[in-house]
Copies of this chain bind each other. A is one copy, B any other.
């Protein structure tokens, strides 16, 4: 695609700057010369990790998500801290949420989660060579998770039977199968 559909920012109003996200309303000039408004959430970006144990099982976390007012099953994930390399975030979040450290960490793919209103990008990693940390990093003090261990086939079945509601987790399971032939 050429740049003919680009939208030029005429004005940006900052509505909110929070701990995690910020919100702007951009006034834009459209390709046809008219103007419109775009409500945009800025997010620092995040990582998600598929942790594979030596026995082939993957570790999932079940946690309460206030935005949804329910618990859901996900792969370990967390947002980038300021200036933090995604690979370091991945190692940190893996240890905080599961208690495991990993020998190898492979970047699989990065993707946008909600391009219609947010710039969040998630960097997806595969973690192998897992060992329990002797003194694991403490979880964030406002984070509480339960751990599950499932085989790839069981994870795939959870997607197929619509028991995984989280896009990144479902995508990660299917991507792993596609790309790795697992």
Interface residues on A, range: 35 or more
Q: Does B6 contact A64, Cβ atoms closer than 8 Å?
A: yes
Known contacts A23-B15, A159-B178, A179-B160; decide if A111 and B67 are in contact (CB<8 Å). no
Q: Does A34 contact B141, Cβ atoms closer than 8 Å?
A: yes
Q: Give the docked Cα–Cα distance between A166 and B120 (Å).
A: 11
Task: Determine how many copies of this chain the complex contains.
Answer: 2
Known contacts A6-B64, A144-B5; decide if A178 and B156 are in contact (CB<8 Å). yes
Contact of A177 among B23, B32, B162, B178 (CB under 8 A): B178
Q: Give the docked Cα–Cα distance between A1 and B20 (Å).
A: 26
The A interface is mostly helix, strand or loop, or mixed, namely mixed
- Residues of B with C-beta under 8 A to A111: 164-167, 170
Interface with B: A69-77, A96-104, A127-135, which one? A69-77
Chain A residues within CB distance 8 Å of chain B: 1, 5-7, 15-16, 18-21, 23, 25-26, 28, 30-32, 34, 36-41, 43, 46, 62-68, 71-72, 74, 77, 79, 109-120, 122, 141-142, 144-146, 156, 159-160, 162, 164-168, 170-171, 174-175, 177-179
A6-B64, A31-B144 given. 13 additional CB < 8 A pairs? A5-B71, A5-B146, A21-B41, A26-B66, A36-B142, A65-B115, A109-B170, A111-B166, A117-B118, A159-B175, A160-B178, A160-B179, A167-B171
